[in-house]
Amino acid sequence: MRLQQLFKSQSELNLTDGPIPRALFFLSFPIVITNLLQVGYNLADTFWLGRYSTEALAAISLGFPLVYLFISLGLGLTVAGSVLVAQHTGAEQPAKAEYAASQAVIFTLLAGVILGALGYSFVAELLNVFDAEPVVLGLATEYMEVISLGLPFLFGFTIFIALMRGAGDTITPMLVMLGTVVLNVALDPLLIFGVGPLPELGVEGAAIATVFARGSAMVVGIWLMLRGAHGIQIHLRQMVPDLSYSRKLLRIGVPASIENTGRAVSINAVLVIVTLFSTSVVAAFGVGIRVFSMIFMPAIAIDRGVEAMTGQNIGAGRHDRVVATNRFAAKMSFLLFSAVGLATFVFAPEIIGIFDDSPAVVAEGSSFLRWIALTFGFVGVIRAYSGGFRGAGKTLTAATIAVVLFGFIRLPIAYVASQGLVPIDGWFFATPSPAGIWFAFAVSSVIAAIVAAGWFESGGWRGGDLTDEAMEASNTSAADGDSSAGGRTGEGSDQDMISETD
């Protein structure tokens, strides 16, 4: 198969008609590449810092969950923008899609500025929650201060990816990401170790490389959306913050932020338990989480593909395709990631050794991967149905699954099982052991998958159509005209709204 046959442009894809496997593949495959490239930022940092020092690697192990937490707090706005663009695109309401995109961009950038300022001010206090060695805490603080200042750039590129995906264009973000990853990989060793006139910056250099590369990606992404030649178009005049429209974004986005924040808080809370053990266990956990993230880039891509397909089919009134898309994605994900999990189980030591070859880290990291590898298929199921709930506008449902099952099941099991509190004098329960933490990851994934599948199949995704809601504030009259001009298509009123809001 030629390389170009793996990619289809936005004009070649119809998400609301035709074979579902074909549409989902060509929509999701570029997202797989984009997400793998995105993980490349963190993997490059892990690779080079692992050769810099074990303390530096442990420092970004502490910092990574906090980065995820910050991004998760603002990610809801990107989800809201993507879902609104997808549903309005499926309903053939282009002007509403563009207005939603423009508002999502400005509010996401504002969220990045606010969260970045708060993060920079309180990062030291947040990291002190972890009972890590002082040198590791100091390095983690340096890393996180730079990342905090760069949050607007990270958020800016994330909203670009989300809006293009909602419109059905996943190739353009992939190409932009490719260029910026090359830039990051080139900068990492130069800034970490210091070359020529460049000083040796260690973990701070890794953070600067990441922020600079993602900032470059944001600039390119915003420029492409202003031009409107690909995916979705935004307009400067529509980027004046509309507080009434922000309520719509927040109503969809806050639960999505809670979902992602719940996952992030869960990881951070588990990390508190991990730090009760040695530095090598902390480093092993950090490497294991990054490997886990890399492996599940395809699952997240399927999640996002299902989100976009569900959104467009909700907008088009194709509820039959919503059900068929989610079921197909869940079955395919279970089979695919079960196979990946088996391979991970077999080659776990070799995988960990790529990033840190110290015997203690390899041993504990391999144990972590082997515990969770056999449940990879269930994680794939969770991701597939979560994307369906979000695309259907049911972001609160996806949030509930993440928060309750990961926060209230994984965390208690991790603490009790790892601290020798289970009254079983055998297996790893006999004495305090990090194996109890790895056990909690596996159990919570299985339970979450069963609940997500049952919830969707019971019809919990229905009732989230956002396309019939009137546009607030300055767009109310345009939306009314759209309704009276002929239902879901509304081409004449869309043109009117363009002239009003441009």
Whole-number Cα distances in Å, 203 to 49, 67, 193, 320, 496? 7, 14, 10, 50, 52
- pTM (2 d.p.): 0.77
- pLDDT tens figures, 271-302: 888 888 888 888 888 888 878 877 887 888 89
What's the pLDDT band for 427 if we cut at 50, 70, 90? low
Residue with tokens 């250099």: 205
261 vs 349: which has the higher pLDDT: 349
Residues 6+ apart with CB under 8 A from 102: 234, 235, 238, 239
* Mean pLDDT score of the chain: 83
pLDDT per residue over 218-258, tens digit each? 999 999 999 887 778 999 999 999 988 888 899 888 898 88
Q: Which residue has the higher pLDDT, 205 or 70?
A: 205
SS3 state at 142: helix
pLDDT surpassing 70 at residue 66:
yes
What radius of gyration, in Å, describes the C-alpha atoms of the chain?
22
- How far CA 482 is from CA of 349, 405, 466, in Å, comes to 60, 42, 14
Residue ranges in 128-242 assigned as alpha helix (H): 134-149, 151-166, 171-189, 203-227
Q: Quick count: other Cβ atoms within 10 Å of Cβ 117?
A: 14
> DSSP states of 21-87 as a string?
HHHHHHHHHHHHHHHHHHHHHHHHHHHHHHHH-HHHHHHHHHHHHHHHHHHHHHHHHHHHHHHHHHH
- Say yes or no to pLDDT of 476 above 70: no
Specify the amino acid at residue 91: A
**Can you give the pLDDT at residue 212?**
92
Least confident of 240-244, 264-268, 453-457: 264-268
Q: Select the highest-mean-pLDDT range: 121-130, 223-232, 430-439.
A: 223-232
The residue that leads in pLDDT, 263 or 114, is 114
